[in-house]
Amino acid sequence: MGDSVYLMSEGSCDMFMNNGFESGLGVGWSSASANPSFPAFGCLDPDPDIQEYLAGAGPNDRYMWIGATPSPYRGIITDSFDITLGNCQVRFWMRYGRAVGDGGFGGVGSPCEDPDLSNEGVHLAYSIDDGANWVDFPGSDLYPEGPNDQNPPFTTYVNGTGGYWSPIPTPHSQMRWDSNSIFWWHEYSCPIPAAAVTTATKFQFYQDGTSGAGWDTWGLDEVKIFCSNNQNVIWSHGATEFNPATPVSPTDTTEYWVMVFDTLGNFDRDTVMIFVAERPDTDLGNDTTICWYGSNTAIFDAGAGFDSYSWNTGETTQIITPDTSGMFIVEVWNATCYDTDTVLLTVIPATVAFAGSDESLCQGGSWDFTLSSNPPDTISADSVLWFGGLGTFVNPDDLRPVYNTLPAELGPITLGMIAYGSGPCGNDTNYMILTIDTVPTADFTTMPIDTACFLVDITFTGSADIAIATWNWDFGDATFGNGQIVTHAYTTPGTYDISLSVITAEGCVDTVTHTRVITDPLIDFSHTPDPSCENDTVYFDGLGDMVTYADWIWDFGDGSPLDTGRNVSHVYPNFGTYTVTLTVCNQDTTYDHTVVETCDADAGSDEIICEHYSHDFSLSAIQPDTLSADSLRWTGGAGTFNDPTLLWPVYTPAAGELGDIPLIMVAYGITPCANDTSTMILTVL
**Domain residue ranges in the chain:** 12-228, 232-274, 288-349, 358-437, 442-519, 523-596, 600-684
Stated pTM of the model = 0.42
At residue 106, the pLDDT reads 42
Q: Alpha carbon 492 to chain centroid distance?
A: 47
CATH fold of the domain at 600-684:
Immunoglobulin-like (2.60.40)
The matching CATH number, chosen from 3.30.365.10, 3.90.550.10, 3.30.460.20, 2.60.40.10, for 523-596 is 2.60.40.10
Higher-confidence residue of 178 and 573: namely 573
Give the H/E segment covering residue 174.
Answer: helix 174-178
- The string of DSSP letters for 15-55 reads EEEEE--TTSS-SSEEEETT--B--SS----SSGGGPPTT-
- For the stretch 553-563, pLDDT in tens is 999 999 999 99
In CATH, 442-519 is 3.40.640.10: no
Bridge partner residues of 444 (DSSP): 462
| CA pair distance 313, 343, nearest whole angstrom | 13
Nearest to 511 by CA among 585, 441, 580, 607: 441
Contacts of 619 (CB under 8 A, 6+ apart): none
At residue 170, the pLDDT reads 64
Burial class, 470, CB count within 10 angstroms (exposed 0-12 / middle 13-18 / buried 19+): middle
| CA pair distance 217, 308, nearest whole angstrom | 36
- The string of DSSP letters for 187-238 reads EEEEEPPGGG-SSSBEEEEEE---SSTT-S-EEEEEEEEEE-SS-EEEETTS
**Do the first three CATH levels of 442-519 and 523-596 match, i.e. the same topology?**
yes
- For the stretch 395-411, pLDDT in tens is 999 999 999 999 999 99
- For the stretch 85-111, pLDDT in tens is 888 999 999 999 887 765 444 444 567
Give the H/E segment covering residue 84.
Answer: none
Contacts of 51 (CB under 8 A, 6+ apart): 44, 45, 99, 112
Nearest to 76 by CA among 16, 25, 38, 136: 25
CATH number of 288-349: 2.60.40.10
| CA pair distance 133, 218, nearest whole angstrom | 24
User: 358-437 belongs to which homologous superfamily?
Assistant: Immunoglobulins (2.60.40.10)
The DSSP secondary-structure symbol of 350 reads: P
- For the stretch 37-57, pLDDT in tens is 888 766 666 665 555 655 567
E strand segments, 534-586? 537-544, 553-555, 563-564, 567-571, 576-584
| CA pair distance 651, 644, nearest whole angstrom | 9
SS3 call for 509: strand
Round the average pLDDT of the chain to a whole number and report it. Answer: 89
CATH fold of the domain at 12-228:
Jelly Rolls (2.60.120)
Backbone angles phi, psi at 171, to 5 degrees: -85, 165
pLDDT band at 263 (very low <50, low <70, confident <90, very high): low
| CA pair distance 607, 613, nearest whole angstrom | 12
Bridge partner residues of 651 (DSSP): 615, 641
pLDDT of 296 higher than 70: yes
